[in-house]
Amino acid sequence: MEFTALQIAGMLKGEIVGNPDVSVTSLAKIEEGQAGALSFLSNPKYEQHIYTTASSICIVNDSFEPARALPSTLTLVKVADAYACFAQLLAIYDRMNKKEAIIEQPCFIHESARIGQNVFIGAFAYIGANVQIADDCQIHPNVVIQEEVSIGKNTTIYPSVSVYKDCRIGSNCIIHAGTVIGSDGFGFAPDDSGIYSKIPQIGNVVIEDDVEIGSNCSIDRATMGSTFIRKGVKIDNLCQIAHNVDVDQHTAMAAQVGIAGSAKIGKHVMIGGQTGIAGHLSIADHTKIVAQSGIPSTVKKAETLMGTPAIPINDYKRSHFGFRKLPELLRKIYDLENKLGELLKKKEA
């Protein structure tokens, strides 16, 4: 990768302050900048570093005015939103680093599988019967894609992902290493003696377009019908999504979230890490759930929730303040009991 400040400003519709011909070949955090590197500054907390950085180009908000002299080697590109524009450049850089469209050997591709154009398939991948992989996909080494799976355009599946039979994955998706799509839901029925019998899981998983799933996640197939991950959903690493869950559009969840079976998660919901959500409930659109919360019942209106069981965050803060006071309150109660006991003894005497 090599871009000049003039090219970067053109892509981002920004304004150049400095040398338009200076070029960069790498990316770096502003505090770790070096000659030939591109950095960005959006958080005022890091402004101090722009006065000492060795980076050659820095993307800044168009409202930025330096408080003192900048390094003579630094060129600024001023844009409306530095963070968003830097993310845009990272996306361009990522596209430039895509694997060449080849099928590495050894791998297994069933004769009935249909592979689109400009597709990379890594060594030791397994592509089962009647699989459909659309154009521009990247299937990395050791991926297993079982029979009847379909994958949309420009989707990337990283190493050691397993996609079970009949699952559907949309376009422009990213699934990171070690994730399992379509494993059996946790379905068992106890008999009179308490011995569990397996309930066959005959549904599938449907992942719509523009979804990203982190590493080592597990998304279970439905008992019947489908487990849905809707358009634009973002899932962090180490999340568990059980059978027949429906995660609606543009919802995001951080690491170690667990969602029990048949829960319905609304649109634009934000779920903090290590949150546990019980099954057979629904969560309203635009709800926000603070990390390590527990959701035992339906959330009917959008609000920010915290705690186990989760309650509105302001109520939780007041409750937590009271909880922190409990040792002091207990001491006062013990003191009052002792004084009351002494008064009763005096009265009896």
**pLDDT tens digits, residue range 49-91?**
999 999 999 999 999 999 999 999 999 999 999 999 988 888 8
**Predicted local distance difference test score (pLDDT) of residue 260:** 98
Q: Please tell me the distance from the alpha carbon of residue 290 to that of residue 191, in angstroms, as a whole number.
A: 39
Mean pLDDT along residues 317-331:
85
**Predicted local distance difference test score (pLDDT) of residue 238:** 98
**CB 51: neighbour CB atoms within 10 A?**
13
DSSP 8-state assignment for residue 56 = S
**Predicted local distance difference test score (pLDDT) of residue 321:** 81
Query: Which residues sit opposite 219 in a β-bridge?
Result: 181, 241
Kindly tell me if the per-residue pLDDT of 1 is higher than 80: no
Q: Which long-range contacts (CB under 8 A, 24 or more apart) does 126-130 make?
A: 128/165
Mean pLDDT along residues 271-275:
98
Confidence at 319, pLDDT banded by 50, 70, 90: confident
**Predicted local distance difference test score (pLDDT) of residue 207:** 98
Q: Taking a C-beta distance cutoff of 8 angstroms, is the pair 307, 293 a contact?
A: yes
Q: Please tell me the distance from the alpha carbon of residue 143 to that of residue 131, in angstroms, as a whole number.
A: 13
Confidence at 322, pLDDT banded by 50, 70, 90: confident
**Predicted local distance difference test score (pLDDT) of residue 329:** 86
Q: Please tell me the distance from the alpha carbon of residue 257 to that of residue 254, in angstroms, as a whole number.
A: 6
Cis previous bond, 200, omega within 30: no
Q: Please tell me the distance from the alpha carbon of residue 13 to that of residue 80, in angstroms, as a whole number.
A: 9
Residue 76's contacts (CB-CB under 8 Å, 6 or more residues apart) are 16, 17, 18, 57, 58, 59, 60, 64, 70
Kindly tell me if the per-residue pLDDT of 99 is higher than 90: no
Q: Please tell me the distance from the alpha carbon of residue 33 to that of residue 80, in angstroms, as a whole number.
A: 22
Token pair for 159 = 């190493």
Q: 């439905």: which residue's tokens?
A: 222
**pLDDT tens digits, residue range 118-150?**
999 999 999 999 999 999 999 999 999 999 999
| Distance linking the first and last C-alpha atoms of the chain | 94
Q: 């050894």: which residue's tokens?
A: 106
pTM, to two decimals: 0.84
Q: Please tell me the distance from the alpha carbon of residue 205 to that of residue 241, in angstroms, as a whole number.
A: 11
**Predicted local distance difference test score (pLDDT) of residue 98:** 79
Q: Please tell me the distance from the alpha carbon of residue 73 to that of residue 251, in angstroms, as a whole number.
A: 42
Kindly tell me if the per-residue pLDDT of 96 is higher than 80: no
The domain defined by 161-309 folds into UDP N-Acetylglucosamine Acyltransferase; domain 1 (2.160.10)
Q: Cα–Cα distances in Å, from 36 out to 30, 78, 90, 158?
A: 12, 18, 16, 30
Architecture of domain 3-96: 3-Layer(aba) Sandwich (3.40)
**pLDDT tens digits, residue range 197-250?**
999 999 999 999 999 999 999 999 999 999 999 999 999 999 999 999 999 999
Q: Please tell me the distance from the alpha carbon of residue 196 to that of residue 210, in angstroms, as a whole number.
A: 39
Percent of the chain past pLDDT 90, that is, above it, reads: 85
* Domain boundaries along the sequence of the chain: 3-96, 161-309
Kindly tell me if the per-residue pLDDT of 251 is higher than 80: yes
Token pair for 228 = 């849905």
Token pair for 166 = 């009949």
Question: H or E segment at 145?
Answer: strand 144-145
Residue 310's contacts (CB-CB under 8 Å, 6 or more residues apart) are 289, 290, 293, 294, 295, 316
Q: Taking a C-beta distance cutoff of 8 angstroms, is the pair 98, 157 a contact?
A: no
Higher pLDDT, 347 or 185: 185
Q: Please tell me the distance from the alpha carbon of residue 172 to that of residue 95, in angstroms, as a whole number.
A: 12
Confidence at 159, pLDDT banded by 50, 70, 90: very high
Catalytic residues: 243
**Predicted local distance difference test score (pLDDT) of residue 223:** 96
Confidence at 286, pLDDT banded by 50, 70, 90: very high
Across the chain, mean pLDDT equals 95
